[in-house]
Amino acid sequence: MRAVPRPAIPALILLACLAAPASAAPITDARALHQACHALAALTAGGGKVPLDDPCRTWLVDYFTAYKEAHDARLAAMLEGGAPDPGPQPCFRPPDFVSFAEIAALVARKGDTAPGLLDGPPGALVQNAMADAYPCAAPADGGR
């Protein structure tokens, strides 16, 4: 049996951690995200850890990564003289740290209280849940 070189072992472990499980179906609609986030909220309700391969967590990571990239692109365009773009609505401003367990619980509750959102895109469910929990403050007028 041939030994794996030592430097390759951490890389193999990292790849194993990042790989999606074969049984995980991609989340393509709000109803599936709601169900996945309900399951994650139940799993973490007693302080349990969020599994790295959890479907709700995985979807939220992808969503917020794309959200941040779009925000950065809008900001760069405005700094280059483009028209202000408020971005997707409703607006939300979360605190510096919000855990995936907290977001999963917000998404689960929002789907329970606004079932009409379950028929739309999953991003709308997340955005509405975040806006309810962390609404944008009205812009200050600067004392004018």
Quickly count: other Cβ atoms within 10 Å of residue 108's Cβ. 23
The yes-or-no verdict on residue 142 having pLDDT over 60 is no
pLDDT, tens digit (0-9, with 9 covering 90-100), for 13-61: 333 333 333 334 689 999 999 999 999 999 999 888 999 999 999 999 9
What's the whole-number average pLDDT of the chain?
A: 81
Q: What is the rounded average pLDDT of the residues 86-94?
A: 82
Structure tokens given for 112: 């329970």
Residue type, 1: M
Higher per-residue pLDDT: 87 or 120: 120
State what percent of residues in the chain have pLDDT above 70: 78
Cβ within 8 Å of residue 44, ≥6 positions away: 50, 101, 104, 105
Helix orientation angle between 30-44 and 100-113, rounded to the nearest 10 degrees: 130
Q: Where along the chain do its domains lie? A: 25-83+91-133
Confidence band for 139, pLDDT divided at 50, 70 and 90:
low
DSSP designation for 16 = H
pLDDT of residue 141: 54
